[in-house]
Chain A
Amino acid sequence: MIPGRLLPPFSTAFAICYGYAAAVSLQVFIYYPALGEFTTEIKPAADAGPPMFWYGWLAFGAGGGVIAMLVALVLPRRLDARVWPALSGAASFAVAILHVYLARAWFQQ
């Protein structure tokens, strides 16, 4: 059973890691829906069809979240009180706003 106090660090780290991975296209793997294939290599679109990075970004975010939980597990519990409880919500808003900014090119074409 995961102690509840480890869940906020997971959420905060997930937001930061997912946001970073999506911003710089750092995916753990790529999915090619036309082939039904997961891979780590980028393939030519003419052969493999369009790539999907989103699942790979989710995996990167989840990995970051799990690492944050492990770090929180070994840190003294008294440090919990020093972390702003709304940090996970604020991180989600901040990353969402960053991606609105990064997506502006789609709306300027």
Chain B
Amino acid sequence: MIVALLILHGLLSIALLGALTHQAAALWWPAQRGGQRFVDRFRGRQAVVFTNAVVVLYVFTFVLGALLYPSYRVDVRVVLEDLQVYAPTGAFELKEHFAALGLGLLPAYWYYWRQPAGDFRWTRRLQTAYLALSAWYGFVTGHVLNNLRGLGT
């Protein structure tokens, strides 16, 4: 059951990364008009269409992570501490903080993406950048930790 939840958590996080990375690229590095290359098309998405998907995926990914967390605390972190491997534990501590702050940011993110674009361009950029960076950090850290000592092993 734990392994199934972990796989679902990982799959949802990949979908979240896709939505957030498209949105962040469209905001911070908008495509030139008429560009036909892969990168131009990647940057050329209409950023607003990702908002609801980001909110839903972030919440579901977060909830699954919160459900898995007790197993990590008992089965993984204790072992790493016994082995005196502290850096991965610290990296996971940061993952939990970044993810929690991202969850708290979602209401404001959702609100400002429903306002006229011109008034809140930098607000949207800042919020989307935070969510994208926290999602990428969480994904990489979770992946590395699972390689070090996976749940259910």
Contact = CB atoms under 8 A, between A and B. Distances in A.
Interface of A: 4-5, 7-8, 10-12, 14-15, 18-19, 22, 31, 33-34, 49-50, 52, 54-55, 57-58, 61-62, 65, 85-86, 88-90, 92-93, 95-96, 99-100, 103, 105-107, 109
Contact of B122 (A18, A34, A86): A86
A83 B90 CA distance: 35
> Majority SS of interface residues in chain A?
helix
A88 B62 CA distance: 19
B153 to A, nearest CB: 17
B101 A7 contact: no
Given A18-B100, A103-B90, A96 B105 contact: no
Contact of A65 (B71, B78, B104, B129): B104
> Majority SS of interface residues in chain B?
helix
Contacts of A34: 74
Contacts of B109: 11, 88
B42 to A, nearest CB: 23
Given A31-B70, A109-B86, A8 B108 contact: yes
A19 B97 CA distance: 8
B15 to A, nearest CB: 22
Contacts of B66: 55
The 4 A-B pairs of least Cβ separation, nearest first, read: A106-B90, A14-B104, A33-B70, A89-B126
A66 to B, nearest CB: 11
